[in-house]
Chain A
Amino acid sequence: MQQQPIEEVPKYDPISPAAMQTNMYIILYARSTLAATAGAAAGILGLTGTTGFVFFFAASAVMSAALVLRTGFNPNKYFPQNRGWMQISTGEVVNSLFSYMLFWTLFSGLVHLFE
């Protein structure tokens, strides 16, 4: 299993586009939910400045780890051309950053700003 006895066999990528679409959507959904909840948490905790961004990337890393765990440490099985690790760890992170900022602002305002 660990040692590949056959070197000459060309890589065959049997991934159906529909299944891959679903996988992408799962990542998108997970990241979206994470952005909203992490943003709310950061706002309630009252994080400001760089701390907040560090919090976001830490949360994203945790989410990446959770996703990798979900794929059974074999993300390449779910995405084509060996982009599994890339896709799982970085996919949609930048897009979700905006949502994180929105919720961070909203909750820090609601909790700490209005009197």
Chain B
Amino acid sequence: MVSQDNAMYLDPAIRDWVLMPIMAAMILVGILRHFATQLINTMPKSTLKDIRQGCALIRSRQLRFTTDIPEHAFETRRQFLMDAFEKNEYMKNPDAATSTPNPMQDPAAMANMMEGLKKNMLMFVPQTIIMNWITFFFSGFILIKLPFPLTLRFKAMLQSGIETRDMDVTWVSSLSWYFLNLMGLQSIFTIILGEDNAAGGMRDMQSMQQMNPAMMAAGAGASPDGHALFKSERESLAISQHTTLRLRGAELRVLELFGGGAHGAAARRLNKKKV
């Protein structure tokens, strides 16, 4: 169909020496990037005290959200944690000043920033190299025809290096094939490498844009300050209340689960009594 309405054919050599190599190179670079990222990724270094501080916070948070325990148990735990937070028992360094330390002097923060930098490098360096490779070697001829229409505005971008005014926009040069690959190969990487692959593509850029403000904030020294965290956690604990919201009506649910319709009447009776 394509070949009927516009009788233009391309040299098979273009397919063999440009179309396929670009795609193969991009897939291979993606796989390489995935494994290089795994190699570079180091576990964040943390001391025992760091972990203890984090775990105390997690414990308190769990207590606030999971209150499926008897009320006196909840109350005891709440009091204990509040006291502990008050006395800075779980602090990494209880004697430290409340002022936020300079992130440049904190080795942990520095390591974090280096991590981000390394990831950025792995993202941008290969893509820049491939793009330059393509524009240097494969510009100035038509590579493929897109099966979907585009507006004329794309002409300058997609037919870079081809100075014809009348050619249809759907005939595009190698740089557009590169962009198409860049955006479309994600699913291939998902199939080859699994879910959390670091092979690149659009998903990575999206996540990076979302991550960056958070990373900046962390780098600016807001996060490692235990005092503020403990203080806010203590306040949340103070106002948290014991509820058995999720346990309420559990027996009815069990009856329903096992009895089905036969115990519907019993369940309803129980329900009435409860209300």
Name the B residues within 8 Å of A10 (CB-CB). 245-246, 248-249
Cross-chain pairs A/B with CB under 8 angstroms, 13 sampled:
A6-B253, A8-B249, A12-B253, A36-B191, A47-B1, A98-B180, A102-B184, A104-B147, A109-B145, A110-B15, A113-B3, A113-B144, A114-B9
A98 pairs with B253, CB closer than 8 A: no
- A contact set with B: CB distance below 8 Å: 1, 5-6, 8-10, 12, 21, 25, 28-29, 31-33, 35-36, 42-43, 46-49, 52-53, 95-96, 98-106, 108-110, 112-115
What's the tally of chain B residues with a CB closer than 8 Å to chain A? 47
Point out the residue from B187, B245, B256, B261 that lies within 8 Å of A35, measured CB to CB: B187
Bound Cα distance A12, B247 (Å):
9
Tell me the chain B residues, 238-262 only, with Cβ under 8 Å from chain A.
245-246, 248-249, 252-253, 256, 260-261
Q: Does B120 contact A (CB under 8 A)?
A: no
A9 pairs with B249, CB closer than 8 A: yes
The interface-forming segment of B102-110, B159-167, B263-271 is B263-271
Name the A residues within 8 Å of B177 (CB-CB). 105
Q: Does B146 contact A (CB under 8 A)?
A: yes
- B2 nearest in chain A by CB position: A112
A5 pairs with B190, CB closer than 8 A: no
B271 pairs with A6, CB closer than 8 A: yes
Name the A residues within 8 Å of B15 (CB-CB). 109-110, 114
Q: Is the interface of A mostly helix, strand, loop or mixed?
A: helix
Point out the residue from B185, B191, B268 that lies within 8 Å of A102, measured CB to CB: B185
Name the B residues within 8 Å of A104 (CB-CB). 147-148
Name the B residues within 8 Å of A101 (CB-CB). 148, 180, 183-184
- B5 nearest in chain A by CB position: A48
B9 pairs with A32, CB closer than 8 A: no
B1 pairs with A48, CB closer than 8 A: yes
Bound Cα distance A29, B202 (Å):
16
- B contact set with A: CB distance below 8 Å: 1-3, 9-12, 14-15, 19, 23, 144-149, 177, 180-181, 183-188, 190-191, 194-195, 202-203, 245-246, 248-249, 252-253, 256, 260-261, 264, 267-268, 271, 274-275
Interface-centre pick from B19, B177, B186, B202 (highest chain A CB count, 10 A):
B186
Bound Cα distance A51, B43 (Å):
49
Name the A residues within 8 Å of B183 (CB-CB). 98, 101-102
Q: How far is the CB of B166 from chain A (nearest CB, A)?
A: 19
A47 pairs with B147, CB closer than 8 A: yes
Bound Cα distance A101, B248 (Å):
51
Q: A49-B147, A98-B184 are in contact. List 14 more A-B contacts (CB 8 A).
A: A6-B268, A8-B274, A10-B249, A28-B190, A29-B191, A33-B187, A43-B147, A48-B148, A98-B180, A98-B202, A102-B180, A105-B144, A112-B1, A113-B145
A49 pairs with B190, CB closer than 8 A: no
Q: How far is the CB of A114 from chain B (nearest CB, A)?
A: 5
